[in-house]
Structure 1
Amino acid sequence: MKNSSKLSKLSIVISAALFSSTLALTSAPALANLPTQVDGHVMPSLAPMLEHATPAVVSISVIGTQKVPQQNVPDAFKFFFGNKGKNQGQPQQRPFRGLGSGVIIDSDEGYVVTNNHVIENADKIMITLKDGRQLEAKKLGSDAKSDIALLQIDSDNLSEIKLADSDNLRVGDFTVAIGSPFGLGQTVTSGIVSALGRSNLNIEHYEDFIQTDAAINSGNSGGALVNLRGELIGINTAILGPSGGNVGIGFAIPSNMMHNLVTQIIEFGEVHRGILGVSGRSVNSEIAKAMELETNQGGFIEQVMPDSAADEAGIKAGDVIIAVNGKAIKSFFELRAKIGSIGANKKVKLTVIRDGDDKIFTVKLKQDQSADIAAASIHAMLDGTQLENDTKKQAIIIEKVAEGSPAQMAGFRAGDIITGVNRSRIKDIAQLRDYLKGKSGVLALNIIRDNHAQYIMIR
């Protein structure tokens, strides 16, 4: 009742002040009379928190080129295009400019986190700080499947933002989104956590989103979602809106997930994604009834791969995983996203329902061999390839080769198997990286193509 009385007094005072300002022709003096305190209490404001948090949120502008597919020109019309007609149908390079946001998470090292889609294909990345300073950023690494990228800038007097434990979030917690929508400059909006563990949205490959109704628009991507203490709880990533504008449904990558991925990028230059080695589906009422489960949430395990991390830990088909490191999960998609952000060789504790009993298993994750490899970081002439280790053949398979890429120009094809360099046997990507590190001049890669051995020369 006391709180209700205070709120009523506050409402009456503010209403009276606003009414008097409406009657006055000059509104400035009337607004100046608005109370700063009510019953001895300071009027609530987010300003003090934002004064500390906003300097760590930056604007990002990029310049780059992207491949645009061209329409094929009928043979009858190729004469009018001259030699260009021969190249019709091939991807063409087109310049582009883009805008986004980022968050400084380490002021000493100059680390800036943003979304991969903000800086993808960028040739030049410029950072604008809140105080107006402009700095060129270097890309340290990225992970397209989770849409996270790490940049680095070099400057003194940077502000960083403190990370919160996003696993402690609850639906209804207040949120504040900070970013630069539509290139307007830094903008702040507020809302609440609308939902947690949002997945299966087909926005990213690994999804475990925080949903918020804080207004997020184009240009907010890569910006900060913070709590009322100004701590980072998420990286704003996407919105759900038919026209591309805000409709009160925005998504952010949890800070814990981001931190796991960034730590790997700092250490390896890429994400060494952990893998459990299971397939399954989300528990629903039908599965719960059929399997006589007392829960309608979790990840139901349909298959455990032989010699996988799950197999070695004792996980079996029919198990239901309900928690990762003591934190409850709602679906198989959430399980996949959480495991996918944890690095290879890391240990996790899984809470499993088996035969009606809760059991805890400690699992040492193996490395996901199907993960995208930053081939360009191994050698420039491998740029455009997707490399995967083949443990059975003890070699490297080139899964994909991008059209018009340096790798395609060098002669690589999808399906090629790399077995060595300069007559030295190479068994996996790590060996290839180590061998090529610091090497210059012409290199001969041993390739098996269509069961025939050959060499591709790169320099």
Structure 2
Amino acid sequence: MKKLSLAISAALLSSTMALSSLPAVAAWPTSVDGQTMPSLAPMLEHATPAVVSISVKGTHKVKQQNVPEAFQFFFGNRNPNQAQQRPFRGLGSGVIIDSDKGYIVTNNHVIENADEILITLKDGRQLTAKKLGSDAESDIALLQIEADKLSEIKLADSDELRVGDFTVAIGSPFGLGQTVTSGIVSALGRSNLNIENFEDFIQTDAAINSGNSGGALVNLRGELIGINTAILGPGGGNVGIGFAIPSNMMNNLVQQIIEFGEVRRGILGVAGRSVNNDIAQAMELKSSQGSFVEQVVPGSAADEAGIKAGDVIVELNGKNIRTFFELRAKISSIGANKKVKLTVIRDGDKKTFTVKLKQSEGSNIAAESIHRMLEGAKLENDKNNKGIIIEEVAQGSPAQMVGLKSGDLITGINRSRIKNIAQLRDYLKDKEGVLALSIVRDGHAQYLMIR
């Protein structure tokens, strides 16, 4: 073994000396036999400036441990149910999707509970970002920065992806700085992984590690096909199984946040399961793919459109549906009151129905992302676009101290009419000093002052 090591060392030394003797101007060849050597570098030169590093600071609530009575003399008489605020720091990645408006997409879990969000661009500039909105159930968040000369990534149609397509993951793993890895699409429509509530993941073997969350998954044209979100591996390390939120799903949710300041989730109103071999045989289906409808909720969007129990949904807007979980995830990202076309198999025949989705209950947003004096309130847009409903007000919060109560309807601020959360955010963006909040409570109009 020692002789072998010496031989290897001698070979390496001679190779190094040979390389060092080359002229200083020598360069590696860019072509072989007249053909250009393949490289991802030209594409990455355009794509990587649009991927940013994100560092966050904030606090989260941690329940105090119950201290035995014998030790309460030393530790104090603590209430085990009392939550304590603990500071935290975190790292992640993000993608600029609109350079003019400074919109950055990332994962909700990257910036959740953050009091400060710092963006580092590839050129070294550091900027503070503002959170415009998020959706915890699909793990998407939208941020905004103000800067010149930003780059953006063009969005691809993620519904056109095929297993085997090449992928490139861009992010900042472990805080090392921007890193690029490559692979292929390993699988599509991954769901039921218990990572998020709504799952329709792209699976890739491009190396994704801690800190890559919120980064870009692009194709060989440098177009965004997904937002890197999670990995499957022991100890949080990469074993070649990574998951990304498809770009189409992300874009549907982001457009709702931009328009309304929240995600207005569409709902179909069916219960079901994925078609398997047993269902395919029982229903005499030619394929074991699709979403089998077990129940239709009375009065739901599906019911009003004519969908029936026993139908097998095989297409959504002309694109194949493989599983019930895929249907659920895709519908959840399409906004309320939007129309979709569902193709079903009924009694062996294909039928197409136009369905107008209804709005899912419980779509609200934390008001601290709008104004610090509204912290502690949860807001929801009025369905008739008459204003903003105060869904809940936390005890002892700034929102309670300014006088807000559950059930209040915000209709304006100063002398401006406010119809939804997006308008409220835009109005407050550059305003300082005392503001007069116009609300309707128990049918009577009144003003509350916030600073």
In the superposition, the TM-score normalised over structure 1's length comes to 0.81
Q: Deviations over 1:232-283 (max 9, x none)?
A: 1110000001110110000001111111000000011110111101111111
2:55 equivalent to 1:61: yes
**In structure 1, which of residues 169, 174, 177 is the aligned counterpart of residue 166 of structure 2?**
174
The residue matched to 2:298 in structure 1 has which SS? coil
2:303 equivalent to 1:301: no
**In structure 2, which of residues 150, 154, 157 is the aligned counterpart of residue 158 of structure 1?**
150
What's the counterpart of residue 5 of structure 2?
none
Given that 1:178 and 1:224 are in contact with CA atoms closer than 8 Å, whether structure 2 keeps it comes out as yes
What's the counterpart of residue 32 of structure 2?
38
- Structure 1 alignment gaps of length 5 or more: 1-18, 423-429, 447-456
Question: CA separation in 2, counterparts of 1:54 and 1:433?
Answer: 30
What's the counterpart of residue 368 of structure 1?
360
What's the counterpart of residue 3 of structure 1?
none
Question: CA separation in 2, counterparts of 1:128 and 1:431?
Answer: 32
Given that 2:132 and 2:261 are in contact with CA atoms closer than 8 Å, whether structure 1 keeps it comes out as yes
The residue matched to 1:53 in structure 2 has which SS? helix
Tell me the CA shift for residue 291 of structure 1. 2.1
Change beyond 3 A, Cα 1:108–1:346: same
**In structure 1, which of residues 216, 231, 235 is the aligned counterpart of residue 227 of structure 2?**
235
Q: Which amino acid aligns with 1:62?
A: V
**In structure 2, which of residues 179, 184, 189 is the aligned counterpart of residue 192 of structure 1?**
184
2:252 equivalent to 1:252: no
Given that 1:175 and 1:190 are in contact with CA atoms closer than 8 Å, whether structure 2 keeps it comes out as yes
Tell me the CA shift for residue 364 of structure 1. 0.8
Question: CA separation in 2, counterparts of 1:339 and 1:208?
Answer: 11
What's the counterpart of residue 454 of structure 1?
none
Given that 2:132 and 2:144 are in contact with CA atoms closer than 8 Å, whether structure 1 keeps it comes out as yes
**In structure 1, which of residues 92, 103, 123 is the aligned counterpart of residue 95 of structure 2?**
103
Given that 2:368 and 2:377 are in contact with CA atoms closer than 8 Å, whether structure 1 keeps it comes out as yes
What's the counterpart of residue 47 of structure 1?
41
Q: Deviations over 1:150-205 (max 9, x none)?
A: 11010111011111111111100000000000111000000000001111111011
Question: CA separation in 2, counterparts of 1:281 and 1:330?
Answer: 11
**In structure 1, which of residues 265, 268, 284 is the aligned counterpart of residue 257 of structure 2?**
265
2:313 equivalent to 1:327: no
The residue matched to 1:252 in structure 2 has which SS? strand
Question: CA separation in 2, counterparts of 1:49 and 1:194?
Answer: 22
Given that 1:378 and 1:433 are in contact with CA atoms closer than 8 Å, whether structure 2 keeps it comes out as no
Count residues with an aligned counterpart: 416
Q: Which amino acid aligns with 2:45?
A: E
2:337 equivalent to 1:345: yes
Quote the sequence identity (%): 73
Name the stretch that deviates more: 236-245 or 379-388: 379-388
2:66 equivalent to 1:72: yes
Q: Deviations over 1:353-373 (max 9, x none)?
A: 111111111111111113344
Given that 1:274 and 1:366 are in contact with CA atoms closer than 8 Å, whether structure 2 keeps it comes out as yes
2:125 equivalent to 1:133: yes
Q: Which amino acid aligns with 2:35?
A: H
The residue matched to 1:176 in structure 2 has which SS? strand
Given that 1:65 and 1:122 are in contact with CA atoms closer than 8 Å, whether structure 2 keeps it comes out as yes
Question: CA separation in 2, counterparts of 1:20 and 1:360?
Answer: 68
Q: Which amino acid aligns with 1:383?
A: G
The residue matched to 2:65 in structure 1 has which SS? coil
Question: CA separation in 2, counterparts of 1:403 and 1:284?
Answer: 50
Q: Deviations over 1:55-99 (max 9, x none)?
A: 0001011111111111112344333334xx244431111111111
Question: CA separation in 1, counterparts of 2:157 and 2:422?
Answer: 35
Q: What value does the CA root-mean-square deviation take over the aligned residues? A: 3.5
In the superposition, the TM-score normalised over structure 2's length comes to 0.82
